[in-house]
Chains A and B, each alone.
Chain A
Amino acid sequence: DIVMTQSPDSLAVSLGERATINCKSSQTVLYSSNNKNYLAWYQQKRGQPPKLLISWASTRESGVPDRFSGSGSATDFTLTISSLQAEDVATYYCQQYNSVPMTFGQGTRLEIK
């Protein structure tokens, strides 16, 4: 199984400031034949199911604010929130879908400082 490790486990950021969450995979999730990274990011607010934010490491889903961006390749990835809003308080998960079983990071809890 591919192990996904996120850092930090928790993060407190002031409103309007940048938040950065990292995700590292134990094996590459870059598929060489199409040069795509099989990596997704989710946001989970308290009491709700996860919501898909980003797929292919950097492609935002429809309706996701452009303050959310994803970057990285192969084994190292980053989710950035450029200007933190109050509604962004949540736990964020990365997930690889390069191989079965699909696996998730342990989550990063994002709070307001």
Chain B
Amino acid sequence: QVQLQESGPGLVKPSQTLSLTCTVSGGSISSRSYYWSWIRQPAGKGLEWIGRIYTSGSPNYNPSLKSRVTISVDTSKNQFSLSLTSVTAADTAVYYCAREELGRSCFDPWGQGTLVTVSS
């Protein structure tokens, strides 16, 4: 079965760039049946969809973050990545990667999540 695992720094300084990678195992990220998404959750709060990418095609971003977000895919490594620029304390959250089925844009499965803290 497909599994996803996030990786990246747990601490980022304000104004710098947050960079995370999601490694997909048990399935191909090149599958034409799925998008690959990033979702975040501040401590004790709800879920916010950040954006998604398809194996071929342009990514889609949440308009609330669009000016600061880039999502890319590396099919050779079966990974996709998130870059979020100019971070502030408001970007402190658990960041999840998840698979999204074409035509049924709910999220399954999810990675375990990685906590990113923005602090000097």
Contacts and interface: CB of A to CB of B under 8 A. Distances in A.
A104 B47 contact: yes
A97 B106 contact: yes
A7 to B, nearest CB: 14
A106 B47 CA distance: 8
A interface majority secondary structure: loop
A105 B49 CA distance: 12
A50 interface: yes
A106 B48 CA distance: 10
B107 A52 contact: yes
Contacts, number: 50
B104 A55 contact: yes
A52 B112 contact: no
A86 B113 CA distance: 25
A52 B106 contact: yes
A49 B46 contact: no
B50 to A, nearest CB: 9
B108 interface: yes
B112 A49 contact: yes
B96 interface: yes
Interface of B: 46-49, 60, 62-64, 96, 98, 104-108, 110-113
25 contacts: A38-B105, A42-B107, A48-B112, A49-B96, A49-B98, A49-B111, A49-B112, A51-B108, A51-B110, A55-B106, A56-B104, A61-B108, A93-B46, A95-B47, A95-B106, A97-B104, A101-B62, A101-B64, A102-B105, A103-B49, A104-B46, A104-B49, A106-B46, A107-B46, A107-B47
